[in-house]
Amino acid sequence: MLVLAFAVRGLKEFGEPARKALIIGHSPAERRGRTIGAYYLIRDLIVTVGAFFGAALWRCNPQLNFLIAACVGALGTVCYVLTLKRPAPQPAT
């Protein structure tokens, strides 16, 4: 199970080079290091707060924890779909 958990956790790293390139591409050259550092600080603070919130929910009720996580995931999916920019249809040639 530990090997499986390690492999699943490693899947997260597939998007890392593209994400970092996107951050670098949108940051001013003279502030790239600070921009990357600020991104990772903000991301890790959010993840840490989420972990503590999940632990508190788990102590209250594991089923509630799962239900809230599923709702947040569904809400995120809906927000993504609603804000997705679709290309305009091209006229037939």
Residue 22: band (very low, low, confident or very high) from pLDDT cuts 50, 70, 90: confident
Helix (H, G, I), strand (E, B) or coil at 1: coil
pLDDT, residue 8, reads: 84
pLDDT of 72 above 90: yes
pLDDT, residue 67, reads: 93
Q: Are 36 and 20 in contact (CB under 8 A)?
A: yes
**Residue-range domain boundaries for the chain:** 18-83
Give the helix ranges, DSSP H, for 27-61: 32-60
Read off the pLDDT of residues 25-70 as tens digits, 9 standing for 90 and up.
888 889 888 988 998 899 899 989 988 988 998 898 999 999 998 9
Give percent above pLDDT 70 in the chain. Answer: 99
User: How far is residue 45's CA from residue 53's CA, in Å, rounded to a whole number?
Assistant: 12
* pTM (2 d.p.): 0.58
